[in-house]
Structure 1
Amino acid sequence: MPKLRLDQAPPATLPLRFLLAMPCWGVVGAALLLVDGDAALLSRWHPATLALVHVWTLGVLGNAMLGSLLQFLPAAVGAHLRGWRGVPALHAAFNLGALLLVAGLYTQARWPLWIAGVVLPASFLWLGAMTVPGLVTAAGERLLRSGIGLALGFGMLAALVGGGLALLLARRIAWPPVAVDVHAGLGVLGWMVLLLATVARVVMPMFQGTGSVPPRIQAAWLAVVVIALLTTAAVHLRFSGDRTLALAVAGGAASFALAALWLQRRVPPARHNALFLHWRAGLLALFVAALALAGGQGMVAGVLALGVGLPLLVGGMTLEIVPFVDWIVLRRRVPRGVQLPGVQRLLPDASRRRALIAHTVAAPLLVAATLWPTPWLARLAALGQLVAWSVHGHTLASALLAGRAFLRRAGQLA
């Protein structure tokens, strides 16, 4: 397990601007469901569905993953961020591109798609230029660095393909369905699942008290997933309608979920904290999503993975990272000799559990609205999402407010 390098952690505002955007995008997704009801959950090609999918993948998951990486790479991997002063501009470009893409997909207007088709790939390439050189030159933790580097590579590739698709739509050229499938496979398995599986090697033992997968097994899994994804993507492009890509994505997601659940089995009940429970619920949802995808139930699989499972996994981590970042701020600003509050005091486990309860109440409503698409059920699911992400955002904000209150008491704020 790598040693944390707290002195190398970036300024708090860099990761926080992404992490705090996550629940805001969750509220946007709830608003889309409120407006469109069951239309957004009927077909993968409906404009409202396309908009909602990218609210989840870019707004919710993208912001959480970018913010987590900006904190994780310097502090846990020792990878230097090149040009880190440009992070505020990267945050603005990424979220502007995501907003324009969602608006363009929803309204079918051409100019937002033109801009998003350029800005979003450029944002991912910018992220790669900022992080990959540091990953290459960092010392030690080769498996960890390799996994993150491969995930970043797939993320950039998925963004380039997605940008091309946005530009095609802006020119009123019909999307090739096989290209959309490849874009989704690269983004979900190559970028999201691969990154989570790699980072889990650190966060599960450190924060959940689990064991870890032997390096040889994880390296073999990584190689199999990369080869399978690239091979089946090529086959899918060559033979339209081929099922191997869907099976590869399902197999990669299911194997990660099962392995992580297996590691959790020996954690004693006394250590079942909020992060453990977030991951338990998220891994189960991801595994069921993989089964649904393998069975040809694409809509159900998408909702379970993008609307429930992956948000629980990354959302649980944001509830750990934000108070930890706030604690680092206190450590840097409070004079020596002043006892600092622990991370758990900045955000108690009970508050994190309330966020989990809100999400686990909203999740079945979302799945039910997908299985039985009716306007009233879809809007009930939307209200559940609205409450869940509002509670999540309030919980993150409470950690920052607790830190500021301590600084006031310590006489550090004017």
Structure 2
Amino acid sequence: MTKLRLEQAPIASLPRRFLLTVPLWGVLAGLLLIVDGDAALRMRWQPATLALVHVFTLGVLGNAMFGSILQFLPAAGGVTLRGGVRCGWWLHGLLNLGALLLVIGMHQRWPLLLLGAAMVLALAFVTLAWMVVPGLLTAVGQPLLRAGFGTALAFALATAVLGCLLALGLAGQISLPLVRLADVHASWGVLGWVVVLMASVARVVMPMFQGTGTVPVPVQAAWLAGAVSLLGAGAWWHVIGGAGWLAIGVGVLVLLFAGAVLWLQWRSARLRRGPLVNSWRAGMLALALAAVALPILPGGMLAGALGLGLALPLLVIAMLLEIVPFIGWIELHRQCGRGVQVPGVQRLLPDVDKHRVLLAHVPLLLLPMAVIWPSVWLARMAGVALVLLWGLLSWTLLGVRRRANHFLRARR
């Protein structure tokens, strides 16, 4: 099992600002659904749909991925970050400004905002690579873990570059086969960036926090090589007009990932049952359904609702409920010094609060229902459910700081 290097963990404010921004984007997703209704769930090229998708991919998942990388690589991978807190502020601002410009530009069809978003987001992903990649290349040990992170970052950059080209195309600046390139953009972003990163992180956090085993190294290496091969060759074949093998390949690889996680949980004799395990189990089941729906149902709307709206956020939320109190615990130790007994991670964020957030996901089943049975009110009810869930998550995560501050005041 990988051991955490707590002394190498970054200053708490560096990853935390990204992680605490995640719920704000979730609330925005709910508000967009309330305003746009089922127009955002009918066709992928509707302005409302494009805006909603990028609220999830850049706002929710983007902030979660950036924050997790900045926390995880130093503590678990021994990677030294460049730039420190000051660079982190710039990175946070660039990512969220670029995402906001893109969402508004897509929703309102404003070409100038699309052009501005393309430049700002490209700079954000380049900045992340500048902070992380040199340390990733010089770190020692754990080659599979570093290969996974390197692959995910490479696809993140490729997704950003292709996204910039698509933004230029939507703004009318260049002529592109938008539909096929959008398919490649989505496959690189979801499988190459998000799922590969989650698979790499899961190799460490599942034994540590859930008590499971790990996938054998050759098997995970083969899966990673398969993802790289598919997203390279499959993307080229798709762009030149080949049959829909890209969706099939992405679906199979995502299904293998979800199946492996569920298999590890089922096989574990020391499974630590609780909100994290339950969240990942439910999230992986939803992700498996999305993977099956992707190549079967045309348009990808149901797969998107299940994957981007339900499964991936559920997995991310489960990890936020573990990472944020862990960051708070490390910060308390640094503030109080040795010899002071500080509240444990479970006291900073009790399981009862985590279960409350998990149960708040149940109404989100309205989201795929609104895709299957289009209805303005069904979509708006799903939007209300999103606002309530992500608002509850924000209050719950901020509770870590409230409890830590209460402890510090009591010591004075």
* TM > 0.5: yes
- Matching residue of 1:184: 186
Gaps of 5+ in 2: none
**What is the SS of the residue equivalent to 1:181?**
helix
**In structure 2, distance between residues paired with 1:362 and 1:193:** 25
Contact kept, 8 Å, 1:169 with 1:175, in 2: the verdict is no
**What is the SS of the residue equivalent to 1:271?**
coil
- Matching residue of 2:217: 215
- Matching residue of 1:347: 349
Cα distance per residue 1:223-262 (max 9 Å; x no partner): 111111211001001115x211111111111000000000
- Matching residue of 1:20: 20
**In structure 2, distance between residues paired with 1:320 and 1:63:** 16
Letter paired with 2:376: P
Cα distance per residue 1:189-219 (max 9 Å; x no partner): 0000000011100010000010101111111
Identity of aligned residues (%): 54
RMSD: 1.3
Gaps of 5+ in 1: none
Contact kept, 8 Å, 2:80 with 2:135, in 1: the verdict is yes
**In structure 2, distance between residues paired with 1:133 and 1:273:** 37
- Matching residue of 1:357: 359
Distance 1:269 1:216, change over 3 A: closer
Cα distance per residue 1:4-50 (max 9 Å; x no partner): 11111111111011000100000000000000101000000000000
Task: Within 5 Å, give how 1:153-232 maps onto structure 2.
Answer: 153-171=154-172, 176=177, 177-232=179-234
**In structure 1, distance between residues paired with 2:161 and 2:106:** 17
- Matching residue of 1:320: 322
- Matching residue of 1:142: 143
Distance 1:175 1:393, change over 3 A: farther
- Matching residue of 2:297: 296
**In structure 2, distance between residues paired with 1:48 and 1:175:** 21
In the alignment of these two chains, the number of paired residues is: 409
Distance 1:305 1:175, change over 3 A: farther
**In structure 2, distance between residues paired with 1:127 and 1:239:** 33
- Matching residue of 1:385: 386
Letter paired with 1:338: V
Measured after TM superposition, the shift of residue 269 of structure 1 is 8.8
Measured after TM superposition, the shift of residue 268 of structure 1 is 5.5
Letter paired with 2:47: P
**In structure 2, distance between residues paired with 1:27 and 1:13:** 22
**In structure 2, distance between residues paired with 1:155 and 1:396:** 27
Contact kept, 8 Å, 1:334 with 1:410, in 2: the verdict is no
Letter paired with 1:326: G
**What is the SS of the residue equivalent to 1:20?**
helix
Q: Note if 1:44 corresponds to 2:49.
A: no
Q: After the TM superposition, which parts of structure 1 deviate over 4 Å for at least 4 consecutive aligned residues?
A: 172-175
Cα distance per residue 1:345-368 (max 9 Å; x no partner): 100111111111101x13211111
**What is the SS of the residue equivalent to 1:403?**
helix
- Matching residue of 1:311: 313
Greater alpha carbon shift after TM alignment, 212-221 vs 18-27: 212-221
**What is the SS of the residue equivalent to 2:69?**
helix
- Matching residue of 1:120: 121
Distance 1:243 1:350, change over 3 A: same
Greater alpha carbon shift after TM alignment, 345-354 vs 260-269: 260-269
Contact kept, 8 Å, 1:362 with 1:381, in 2: the verdict is yes
Distance 1:175 1:358, change over 3 A: farther
Letter paired with 2:139: A
Distance 1:72 1:111, change over 3 A: same
**What is the SS of the residue equivalent to 1:226?**
helix
**What is the SS of the residue equivalent to 1:272?**
coil
Contact kept, 8 Å, 2:23 with 2:393, in 1: the verdict is yes
- Matching residue of 2:81: 81
- Matching residue of 1:338: 340
**In structure 1, distance between residues paired with 2:68 and 2:62:** 10
- Matching residue of 1:34: 34
Letter paired with 1:257: A
Cα distance per residue 1:337-396 (max 9 Å; x no partner): 22111100100111111111101x132111111111111111111111111111111111
Cα distance per residue 1:144-172 (max 9 Å; x no partner): 00100000000110010001111222236
Measured after TM superposition, the shift of residue 275 of structure 1 is 0.9
TM-score normalised to the size of structure 2? Answer: 0.97
Contact kept, 8 Å, 2:209 with 2:272, in 1: the verdict is no
Measured after TM superposition, the shift of residue 335 of structure 1 is 3.4
Measured after TM superposition, the shift of residue 273 of structure 1 is 1.2
**In structure 2, distance between residues paired with 1:185 and 1:146:** 19
**What is the SS of the residue equivalent to 2:214?**
coil
Q: Note if 1:256 corresponds to 2:257.
A: yes
Letter paired with 2:287: L
**In structure 1, distance between residues paired with 2:155 and 2:270:** 37
Measured after TM superposition, the shift of residue 174 of structure 1 is 6.2
Cα distance per residue 1:88-132 (max 9 Å; x no partner): 011001100000000000000111101001111111111011101
**In structure 2, distance between residues paired with 1:226 and 1:252:** 11
Letter paired with 1:59: G
